[in-house]
Structure 1
Amino acid sequence: MAAMKYFVPALAVAGRAAAQCSVAATSTIQNAGDASALASCSTFSGSIAIATGTTGEIAIDGVQEITGSLSATNVEELTGITGDSLETIGGTFNLDTVQILSTLNFPRLTDVRAIEWNALAGLQGLVFTSGIQMASTLSIQNTQLNTLDGINLQTAETVYIANNDYLNDITMQIGNVSDSLVLTSNGRNVSANFPNLIWGNVMTFRNCSTVSVPSLASTNGSLGFYSNFFQSLVAPNLTMVGGDLSFANNDDMTNITMPQLQTVTGGLQIANNTELNAIGFSSLETVGGAVSFVGSYETVSLPELSNVRGAFRLASTSDISSACTKFRAMHGNSGVIRGNFVCRSGSGSSGTSTSNGDDSSDGGSSSSSSSGSSSSSTDGTSGASTVYVSGATALMGVVAAIFGML
């Protein structure tokens, strides 16, 4: 890493209306006077770091562009950073462990290559009047922010927003996320609103009270919803998930609506959503991996399902015997469900087996025969009976591998 050096007077270029300033290495600001010396620079070519011993507020006024990064790390007495003219930061806007920082005022800032903020215990709001619209990376962690007003990205590669306990509104007009979008452990009532989000790669939503993705059409990677607080998830335009689609431990969720979803390239998992009574995907045709539905749901509707390349498992404490019968018929010779089939119903239902197998990995036992006789048994822990159809022997290892979450 290039050696840090203290700020030297800006180099004015004679004959120009605005000075051009440049340094070979990162310049370090120690006080307000160092910052004021930059006022004649419209463009600062290089990076600026705020020294750890800096106190009070630093005003980087007059500068319109910083071609490198702007950073402050472990600056214990820094209360604010402002810049009345700054529009562009060509590198990273990095703030890490600046505990009493309470003011970020950049009314004209719109373009930053990367925002990386962490451990800003005093930062509750932003003054970004024009709004940051361009950033390839946005990472905001462990702040006191209660809103992201002033950050309204149009596109991004990575968005990671986590552990901001007072953040209750995440709203952006972003249209696509090419790498990953992760929201986790923010305010208890956080609403995640992405009205223009059409496409993403990997997207994960945790601990959200509302998730709104009305325009989402497809993902290249996985889409997961874990331990959220919303009652309903609606994605009216989603047609394809390019990886796994997962809903797990969303205790208040009563409804999943994805009327146009046709393809899940990976696995489809719905598990331990205690208030979810019905599972239905009216247009779903293909699941490239395994299907696993576990919980207390009562009905399953997949009217267009024609190709499941992995295993298929239904397990509910409610009576799902009719679903067991329906999907068992889609296994084996029908070619719809190609992997192992397991169905467990809390009603004491029974089913027909197509080959020998062992269901002991599900917490109980069942007998099955290749002659097509029915088999059922009582689960020692839940009282549920097992309906089991297997396409292979040694089921315990297969199920454990595919459904290790149970």
Structure 2
Amino acid sequence: MAFLKYALPALLATQAVFAADCGDGDSIKIENQSDADGYSTCKTLKGDVEVSEHYSGDLNFQSVEEIDGSLNIDGAANMTSLSAPNLESISETFQLNGLTTLASLSFGSLTTVKSIKWTALPNLQTLDFTKGVTEAGSVAITNTGLTNLDGISLKTVGTFDITENVQLKTVNVNNLKNATGLINFAGNMDTLEIELPNLVGGTNMTFRNVSSVSIPSLKELSGQLGFWGDSFQSFSAPNLTETADLVFNDNSKLNNVSMPNLKTVNGGFQIARNDKLSAIDFPSLEQVTGAIDFSGKFDKASISSLKNVKGGFNMQSTGNFSCDSFDKLHDDKVIRGTYKCKSDTANPTTKDGSSGSTTSGGKASSTSEGAAPMNVAPMPAMGLAAIFGALLAL
């Protein structure tokens, strides 16, 4: 009994020291590899791991399996590689910023993280993520040297924001089925090809300056679907039945849009400045709760199932299409808002007076060249509300 009287408190004290050595919820500071090696007996680090901006060379967390907190490395310009071969989860943010010489990122066991925020990693070309990250609340990757996103193997995600990665050639997130936040691609390599083959539902999706978008399984979006300044010739969404705002703007090579099952647009629907698009046909479209605003160089326009347009209607083209069917829809009060339909016009314009064709006159489109298209991406709902605000009046 005397032995237990003194041994038990000593054992508890030893356990307390061990727990403290693995973090107690406060920040865990890493100045050098020796600091990281000090946690070699820890499977779980409790607290935010903060790596010094003065860190130089390679950093390896050899034994850690879980970080109960964030992993933050900000401004460590001389860090060359980062690895944690046994790390399976990060409960908060995995943030890397300004690691301008980082060339290797190896997390072979990582599958779960609350959010990924990577910015300014120009020398990072590939990811060594053997198992692949399958769960993330949000992913934002900006200004890296990545050529693909292999290892980002998401099943579900909140925001998926991929911007300014000028070496990014392909993105194939084969397992992704649902996105609860914005999916946004902008300012990456002009020949970027995007494949989301099993994505069924989501909220907002915007694509800028990409050469291919494949979303064959997409059925419903609660927010917008928008394409600005893309270089693909054809776009197809064979299973899409419903979306909010729908935009095709300034896609210079686009000559075919196929959405055979689209029935409802819960917002505004704009097609403008797609000069190779000679025919517009949405055979199943029944309802647009905002406005229809089509302008360009098309010779055919057909929306044969249309039953209700709550907003305005603007259709203008240099081509010689017929307005007869739309005149009747307006007379029958199917189109309830302001109405304009003009064919064979030299200067087709959008509802707000912007040029509807890249070769026509009129004032420049607000989403035409340069930085203007980029301004819409961060504000998917708000931005399009502004674009279509004038069109929603009855």
TM-score bracket for this pair, using the shorter chain length? 0.7 to 0.9
Residues 163-183 of structure 1: CA deviation (Å, up to 9, x unaligned): 000001111121111121111
Q: Aligned residue for 1:93?
A: 94
Match of 1:402 among 367, 390, 394: 390
Equivalents in 1 of 2:257, 2:58: separation in Å? Answer: 49
> What are the within-5 Å matches in structure 2 for residues 92-171 of structure 1?
92-171=93-172
Instruction: Check 1:237–1:42 CA distance in 2 against 1; reply closer, same or farther (3 A cut).
Output: same
Cα RMSD, aligned residues only: 2.5
Matched, 1:271 2:272: yes
> What are the within-5 Å matches in structure 2 for residues 317-336 of structure 1?
317-320=318-321, 322=322, 324-332=323-331, 334-336=332-334
Q: Aligned residue for 2:366?
A: none
Kindly indicate whether the alpha-carbon contact (under 8 Å) linking 2:134 and 2:154 is maintained by their aligned counterparts in 1: yes
Kindly indicate whether the alpha-carbon contact (under 8 Å) linking 1:214 and 1:234 is maintained by their aligned counterparts in 2: yes
Letter paired with 1:402: A
Q: How far did residue 347 of structure 1 move?
A: 5.9
Q: Aligned residue for 1:197?
A: 199
Match of 2:336 among 321, 335, 338: 338
Residues 217-256 of structure 1: CA deviation (Å, up to 9, x unaligned): 0000111111111111110100001x21110001111111
Q: Aligned residue for 2:82?
A: 81
Instruction: Check 1:234–1:21 CA distance in 2 against 1; reply closer, same or farther (3 A cut).
Output: same
Equivalents in 1 of 2:240, 2:160: separation in Å? Answer: 20
3-state SS of the aligned residue for 1:250?
coil
Letter paired with 1:275: K
Q: Which has the higher contact order (CA 8 A, sep 6+)?
A: 2
Structure 1 runs (4+) deviating above 2 angstroms are: 11-14, 359-363, 399-404
Q: How far did residue 317 of structure 1 move?
A: 1.1
Instruction: Check 1:250–1:105 CA distance in 2 against 1; reply closer, same or farther (3 A cut).
Output: same
Letter paired with 1:215: S
Kindly indicate whether the alpha-carbon contact (under 8 Å) linking 2:103 and 2:123 is maintained by their aligned counterparts in 1: yes
Equivalents in 1 of 2:213, 2:204: separation in Å? Answer: 16
Q: Which runs of 5+ in 1 are unaligned?
A: 1-10, 349-358, 364-379, 383-398
Q: How far did residue 24 of structure 1 move?
A: 3.8
Q: Aligned residue for 2:260?
A: 259
3-state SS of the aligned residue for 1:328?
helix
Equivalents in 1 of 2:171, 2:87: separation in Å? Answer: 24
Equivalents in 2 of 1:311, 1:168: separation in Å? Answer: 40
Kindly indicate whether the alpha-carbon contact (under 8 Å) linking 1:93 and 1:114 is maintained by their aligned counterparts in 2: yes
Kindly indicate whether the alpha-carbon contact (under 8 Å) linking 1:12 and 1:19 is maintained by their aligned counterparts in 2: no
Letter paired with 1:301: S
Q: How far did residue 362 of structure 1 move?
A: 5.4
Residues 108-127 of structure 1: CA deviation (Å, up to 9, x unaligned): 11111100000111111110
Q: Which runs of 5+ in 2 are unaligned?
A: 1-12, 355-359, 363-386
Instruction: Check 1:90–1:294 CA distance in 2 against 1; reply closer, same or farther (3 A cut).
Output: same
3-state SS of the aligned residue for 2:181?
strand
Bigger Cα Rg: 1
Q: Aligned residue for 2:32?
A: 31
Q: How far did residue 20 of structure 1 move?
A: 7.8
Q: How far did residue 335 of structure 1 move?
A: 1.8
Q: Aligned residue for 1:184?
A: 186
Q: How far did residue 403 of structure 1 move?
A: 6.1
Residues 300-341 of structure 1: CA deviation (Å, up to 9, x unaligned): 011101111111111111112x1x122011103x12111111
Larger helix fraction of residues? 2
Q: Aligned residue for 1:6?
A: none
Instruction: Check 1:307–1:22 CA distance in 2 against 1; reply closer, same or farther (3 A cut).
Output: same
Q: How many residue pairs were aligned?
A: 347
What is the TM-score of this pair, normalised by structure 1?
Answer: 0.81
Letter paired with 1:74: G
Instruction: Check 1:400–1:159 CA distance in 2 against 1; reply closer, same or farther (3 A cut).
Output: closer
Kindly indicate whether the alpha-carbon contact (under 8 Å) linking 2:26 and 2:46 is maintained by their aligned counterparts in 1: no
Residues 5-49 of structure 1: CA deviation (Å, up to 9, x unaligned): xxxxxx9749x9x99822342111111111111111011111111
Match of 2:213 among 208, 211, 214: 211
State, as a whole percentage, how many aligned pairs show the same letter: 38
Kindly indicate whether the alpha-carbon contact (under 8 Å) linking 1:61 and 1:83 is maintained by their aligned counterparts in 2: yes
